[in-house]
A and B are shown apart, each in its own frame.
Chain A
Amino acid sequence: MNRADLENMAQREQERQQGFRCRLLCCASTPCLSSGGTAVADALQDEIARRELNAEVQVVSTGCMGPCSRGPVVTVQRQGEPDLLYENVTPDAARRIVQQHVQGGEPVQEHLLPLDIPFFTKQHKVVLSNSGLIDPERLEDYVARGGYSALAFALREMTPEEVCAEIIRSGLRGRGGAGYPTGLKWDLVRKAPGARKFVVANGDEGDPGAYMDRTLMESDPHRVLEGMAIAGYAVGAEQGYIYVRGEYPIAAKRLERAIRAAERRGLLGSRILDSNFNFRIDVRIGAGAFVCGEETALMASIMGRRGQPVPRPPYPAQRGLWGMPTLINNVETLGNVAPIITHGADWFAGIGTEKSKGTKIFALAGKVATTGLIEVPMGITLREIVFDIGGGIPDGGTFKAAQTGGPSGGCIPAQFLDTPVDYESLRALGSIMGSGGLIVMDDRSCMVDVAKFFMEFCMDESCGKCVPCRVGTVEMYELLRRITDGSATPADLATLEELCVMVQETSLCGLGQSAPNPVLSTLRYFRDEYEAHIRERRCPAGVCSLDQVPVLEWPDRLHAQALAGNGSISGEVN
């Protein structure tokens, strides 16, 4: 296939789609499937077949449309009319949609979700621009929306240096959490000497409550593959690996299919688009370890070894897979590549803030009216995300904090709601952007309990290689457990704080170094809650049942002294 064939293919597919009077787009992403999306798609198909509308109405299983808590969702595209979105669609409602809306032209009002609400209007979709609009299992759908034209352009019109320079100029930073400038990393790998080079897409997303990478891989797998191929061209690699978390079978399956489809059409493999560039991609499936998101552990896992990190330097850009220079990017980072090449670095740099360019996908979860996947420009305030896009706190609650960055991140309290969301601002507040999990908490959440939850996660996911992380996380969890069950003393809090700093400063890899962050950030803003648990034996949010209060047969004076932590206790003990 060459560039002209690609354009022909896009045109043929566009004409085919325009041949349908109406298209019904059903979300087939994991959240919608788990709330009954398959039955809805089947009901739509059956109803269309029953009414013999097959020739003029098409049902398409697409990727995520965003408002996951309102799923299953279905979009109706009728020619000449604006799109309409239905929420909470049941098989029954699906049949009504066909009968009333598709055939009759009259929308089914009770399931309608307006598209002009802030949830949609405040978003800016760059990476997810195809998500929810194309069938992820069909290459033609992607090509019809301009897919692989960025790769074709880069191969024909640009040198590898120019591709790297374009990415540097765009200001794109790593979306995996650390925010390292992507273009600089590409340039490092391009310049690194090595007989072979590799490109790795990190799709091992382990943060609790986060599913940005899964959605991108499920909804638009070709976007990631195209980004990888452009990266491979830019750095001089001929082999790529996409490392998918083991818990994401649908993403792995769709990626496999996408790779085969692209290889058949000459968009991957040898002599891509009739150029001299060869690039193969293989899928590697992780066995479900959070630490394998860390780049050195991920590479060990790809090479078939135990997924444990090794100290850096040398960085993967110098010595990566099998000792060769290796480029590792998060899949969301790679999802930005094709739009940057297509629209240019200046267009991309025009979105976002001065130091954080472009958009960021967040998985909005917790106590907000609409949870789901959102893509917003960098620099949007937390208030806009929570109250405009998320629709505010349900059931009359008040906003207490937002947890960003998962177990490596921290909590941002209400007084910082107007902080712009970018790498630097979040770091200044003691949290991080992370890969994009955003959990909203209301006044019924206990911050000590939240810290304990994340510490339990880190304790379970520590790989066990270095002592501070392996034992430190367990001891921190143990101390937090004591605080939440009412058996802690003020001395325990001091021990906890000291341990947090030590684990942060001495651990081998990012997992251990960031494991204490949820504790430290909650201590920073909600210390009074910790103290209420310890000194007053009560949980201000009413979450923890402090039933482990030790019954001490001591005189009241001594008990009070012990609770206050006033040094040694002297006197008669009865």
Chain B
Amino acid sequence: MSVVTLTVNDELVSAQEGQSLLSLLEELGIQIPTLCHLEGLSERGGCRLCLVEVEGSNRLLASCVTPVQEGMVVRTHSDRLLKYRRMILELLFAERNHVCAVCVMNGHCELQDQAVNLGMDHVRYPYLNPDLPVDASHERFVLDHNRCILCTRCVRVCDEIEGAHVWDVMGRGVNSRIIADLNQPWGTSQSCTSCGKCVQVCPTGALTTRGVTVAEMEKQHDFLRWILDGRNKKQWHYPAGEQ
């Protein structure tokens, strides 16, 4: 596979052709905030947190869906980008009812982490306060629409890894909702295998294990790597401590 050379934050670096810009930045140790991206799942380019400036393009490009190109000049942390990332987080917090203090994911939540990392300490936009239900019909898990950021990691993991495609998105715009099967209570879904993959990949408290209390829920994304390495490389055993 051929190698391309590009400039990232004024430094010349090389990358493999076809590689996404985001994976290159991760290799280089450059921290880029992401929410809808999760290694092992298809890319969506929806949260727009991983936007970067590319010289010669008048638009900002989502690094998760932009392949590296020879001679590209990339900036990852300009003032403009930092401001936009904070604004995007503010919009996410204003969109639904993210009340960290009473959330089961408090302290383990990716949305909360991003807000802390990016220094987003208040929301300047009108809170929309939608009246959203909680689906607690499943015997093991709970879906709380109030915490959902529509990253569709659950949709993709269920479709691409588990192969059940229980989840999908209904409606459009700010009225989009994650639904199980044909918009029925999760507990009545015939296609759900209760594997819990969706719960583990959800970045917020939207999908949680039933019965956990505030700040208890922690999620493990590692299983994606075990499954995909097993499927693709037939590599099932990890050295102790790496799992």
Cβ contact within 8 Å between A463 and B172: yes
Cβ contact within 8 Å between B48 and A468: yes
Interface-lining segment among B139-147, B173-181, B197-205: B173-181
- With both beta carbons as reference points, the residue of chain A lying nearest to B87 in the complex is identified as A502
Cβ contact within 8 Å between A464 and B174: yes
Q: Once the chains are docked, how many angstroms separate the CA of A304 from the CA of B92?
A: 29
Cβ contact within 8 Å between B48 and A461: no
Cβ contact within 8 Å between B173 and A502: no
Interface of chain A: mostly helix, strand, loop or mixed: helix
A550 within 8 A of B: no
Which of B62, B83, B172 is the one whose CB lies under 8 Å from A508? B62
Q: Inside 8 A of A478's CB, which chain B residues have their CB?
A: 125-126, 128
B187 within 8 A of A: no
B44 within 8 A of A: yes
- With both beta carbons as reference points, the residue of chain B lying nearest to A513 in the complex is identified as B59
Q: Once the chains are docked, how many angstroms separate the CA of A254 from the CA of B91?
A: 45
Cβ contact within 8 Å between B173 and A474: yes
Q: Inside 8 A of B92's CB, which chain A residues have their CB?
A: 467, 471
Shortest CB-to-CB span from B62 to chain A, Å, is: 6
Q: Inside 8 A of B61's CB, which chain A residues have their CB?
A: 311
Q: Inside 8 A of B60's CB, which chain A residues have their CB?
A: 505-506
Q: Inside 8 A of B59's CB, which chain A residues have their CB?
A: 505, 513
Give residues of chain B (36-51) contacting chain A, Cβ–Cβ below 8 Å. Answer: 44-48, 51
Contact mask B153-191 → A, CB, 8 Å, 1/0? Answer: 000000000000000110111111000000000000000
Give residues of chain B (57-96) contacting chain A, Cβ–Cβ below 8 Å. Answer: 59-62, 65-66, 83-84, 87-88, 91-92, 94-95
B8 within 8 A of A: no
Q: Once the chains are docked, how many angstroms separate the CA of A531 from the CA of B239?
A: 66
Cβ contact within 8 Å between B174 and A459: yes
Q: Inside 8 A of A506's CB, which chain B residues have their CB?
A: 48, 51, 60, 84, 88
A90 within 8 A of B: no
Q: Once the chains are docked, how many angstroms separate the CA of A310 from the CA of B66?
A: 12
A427 within 8 A of B: no
B150 within 8 A of A: yes
Beyond A475-B94, A508-B62, whether A464 also contacts B87 by CB under 8 A is: no
Shortest CB-to-CB span from A351 to chain B, Å, is: 31
- With both beta carbons as reference points, the residue of chain A lying nearest to B47 in the complex is identified as A467
Which of B51, B66, B91, B168 is the one whose CB lies under 8 Å from A471? B91
Q: Which of A291, A306, A464 has the most CB of B within 10 A?
A: A464
A53 within 8 A of B: no
B124 within 8 A of A: yes
A470 within 8 A of B: yes
Q: Inside 8 A of B88's CB, which chain A residues have their CB?
A: 467-468, 506
Which of B83, B168, B175 is the one whose CB lies under 8 Å from A464? B175
Cβ contact within 8 Å between B174 and A474: yes
Cβ contact within 8 Å between A470 and B62: no
Cβ contact within 8 Å between B91 and A306: no
Cβ contact within 8 Å between B48 and A467: yes
Give residues of chain A (215-259) contacting chain B, Cβ–Cβ below 8 Å. Answer: none
Give residues of chain A (317-351) contacting chain B, Cβ–Cβ below 8 Å. Answer: none
- With both beta carbons as reference points, the residue of chain B lying nearest to A314 in the complex is identified as B67
10 other A-B residue contacts (CB within 8 Å) besides A291-B172, A462-B174, A467-B48: A311-B66, A460-B173, A461-B173, A464-B172, A465-B44, A470-B95, A470-B174, A474-B174, A478-B126, A506-B84
A-B contact pairs, 16 of them (CB 8 A): A306-B168, A306-B169, A310-B45, A310-B65, A459-B173, A461-B172, A464-B171, A464-B174, A466-B48, A467-B46, A467-B47, A467-B92, A470-B95, A478-B126, A482-B126, A502-B87
Residues of B that sit less than 8 Å from A by CB: 44-48, 51, 59-62, 65-66, 83-84, 87-88, 91-92, 94-95, 124-126, 128, 149-150, 168-169, 171-176
Which 8 pairs, one residue from A and one from B, show the smallest C-beta to C-beta distance? A464-B176, A462-B173, A471-B91, A311-B65, A471-B95, A475-B125, A311-B45, A465-B46
